[in-house]
Amino acid sequence: MTLNIDQLKKKIIYRSNYRGTKEMDKLLGAFTKKYIETLDIKDLNDLEELLDVDDSNLYNFYNGMTCDFKFKKNYINSLFKDFEYKDY
């Protein structure tokens, strides 16, 4: 079964907002909300792959700490690493 782009976006939005830890829900939810409409299919697939990484490694990656996971060098990972989260 293949997903169309709208279904993929909905899946990504849901997964980014319901991670398991409140901190990552907020961070990934805000990141996804900001960029989801500007991403092409390759970037959406890379974002979906990023969402497969556990919260601990994502948190460490975002904060420049040591990770147990090897992150690929791609646009999405770079964008996430440089994302400035603001809680208003």
Please check whether residue 18 lies inside any domain of the structure.
yes
Please check whether residue 47 lies inside any domain of the structure.
yes
pTM, whole model, 2 decimals? 0.90
- CATH of residue 41: 1.10.150.250
What is the residue range of 72's domain?
Answer: 5-81
Please check whether residue 86 lies inside any domain of the structure.
no
What pLDDT does residue 3 have? Answer: 66
Domains identified in the chain, total number: 1
87, with CB counted inside 10 A (0-12, 13-18, 19+), is exposed
- Beta-carbon contacts of 44 under 8 Å, excluding residues fewer than 6 positions away, are 5, 8, 9, 12, 36
- Identify whether the C-beta of residue 50 lies closer than 8 Å to the C-beta of residue 80: yes
Please check whether residue 10 lies inside any domain of the structure.
yes
Confidence check: pLDDT of 54 > 80:
yes
Please check whether residue 87 lies inside any domain of the structure.
no
Confidence check: pLDDT of 88 > 60:
no
DSSP for 45-72, written as a single string: HHHHHHHTS-HHHHHHHHTT---SS---
What pLDDT does residue 17 have? Answer: 96
